Amino acid sequence: MNPAVHVRSLSKSYGQLQAVREVNLDVGHGEVFAILGPNGAGKSTTIEILEGHRKRDSGHVSVLGEDPGVAGREWRAKIGIVLQEVSDAGMLTVSETVQMFAKCYGAVRVPKEVLELVGLGSVSESKVRTLSGGQRRRLDVALGIINLPTLLFLDEPTTGFDPEARLRFWDLIRLLARGGTTILLTTHYLEEAAALADRVAVIAEGQVVAVDSPPNLIRYVSSAATVRWRSDGEIHTVETDRPTELIRERSMAGTELTDLTVSRPTLEDAYLQLIGMK
């Protein structure tokens, strides 16, 4: 089966600025795929081209089997998009807003069920302008999935969420993925990518510098653990692939391992190294 997203040699410039340079990507059907990168790295430009909202200068792009630059309404009905900006439907209620969007499509989810799915069932009759920032963000998600999308684009979806709301949103993403929805997201939260993504692409200066699963990207940095402890008033630090063996050896030798900690590289460590900041 062809991938849900297939990109080869994608490039885009704005005057003298080359925002995207020879980007290659493949996203499988049903995959949760995260794109990471610093501001100005080319993430948003790449996503906008895949969504059909921006023209490319060169390269081949196929999204759900079609070129998004020329695809029609039937293709767009298969796409869900949650942008960075929160929605503002003025004086409409939450329920009215979802129903209005539902009328733009053929096959849709039941609006009431969508609101329950994103945790807005209890405020369905509230005016949109009275919602909190996190609630408005969940409304954006409801509007993005009302049309039963085959592919869902999420652009920094949990910005402004408190920790509890972010965890609830992660559960929603996992639920959609289990239902077969392909999800392509950008995020600045490294723990979010580690928790949700099957694979991660790191983009720096318009180029893809790595694509792999979060565990494999972490191993790109190092598989060694860092063991720290205090002994005789001094802090000792050792990097080793066999931390349990090291601790056992030191303990058997009579060393008192006070304040003992064992830590391993994280996705953040890998990310910072890949973008040249570590």
51-108 pLDDT, tens digit per residue, is: 999 999 999 999 999 999 999 989 999 999 987 665 566 789 999 999 998 988 888 8
Cα–Cα distances (Å) from 7 to 50, 79, 177, 246, in that order, read: 9, 17, 22, 46
Q: Which residues contact 32 (CB under 8 A, 6 or more apart)?
A: 173, 177, 183, 185, 196, 197, 198
Find, among 89, 92, 90, 97, the residue nearest to 118 by Cα: 97
Torsion of CA 127, 128, 129, 133, to 10 degrees: 140
- Give the residue-averaged pLDDT of 131-154: 89
Give the lowest-confidence range in 46-60, 65-79, 196-210, 255-269. Answer: 255-269
Q: What gap in Å lies between CA 241 and CA 8, rounded to an integer?
A: 38
Q: Where are the alpha helices (DSSP H) in the chain?
A: 43-51, 73-76, 94-102, 111-117, 133-145, 163-178, 190-196, 214-221, 243-252, 267-274
Query: Is the separation of the CB atoms in 128 and 25 below 8 Å?
Result: no
- Give the residue-averaged pLDDT of 158-186: 87
Mean pLDDT of the chain: 89
Backbone φ, ψ for residue 61 (5° rounding): -135, 130
- Kindly tell me if the per-residue pLDDT of 148 is higher than 60: yes
Q: What gap in Å lies between CA 42 and CA 23, rounded to an integer?
A: 10
- pLDDT for the residue 52: 94
Say what percent of the chain tops pLDDT 90: 49
Question: How many other C-beta atoms lie within 10 A of the C-beta of residue 169?
Answer: 22
Q: CA Rg, the chain, in Å?
A: 22
- Kindly tell me if the per-residue pLDDT of 170 is higher than 70: yes
- Give the residue-averaged pLDDT of 256-267: 85
Helix, strand, coil shares of the chain, percent, nearest 5, are: 35, 30, 35
SS3 string, 198-260, reads: CEEEEEECCEEEEEECHHHHHHHHCCCEEEEEEECCEEEEEEECCHHHHHHHHHHCCCCCEEE
Q: What gap in Å lies between CA 61 and CA 24, rounded to an integer?
A: 9
Name 184's bridge partners. Answer: 33, 153
Find, among 94, 99, 97, 144, the residue nearest to 120 by Cα: 94
Q: Give residue 31's pLDDT band: very low, low, confident or very high (50, 70, 90).
A: very high
Q: What gap in Å lies between CA 87 and CA 221, rounded to an integer?
A: 39
Strand pairing report for 182-186 and 151-155? parallel
pTM: 0.83
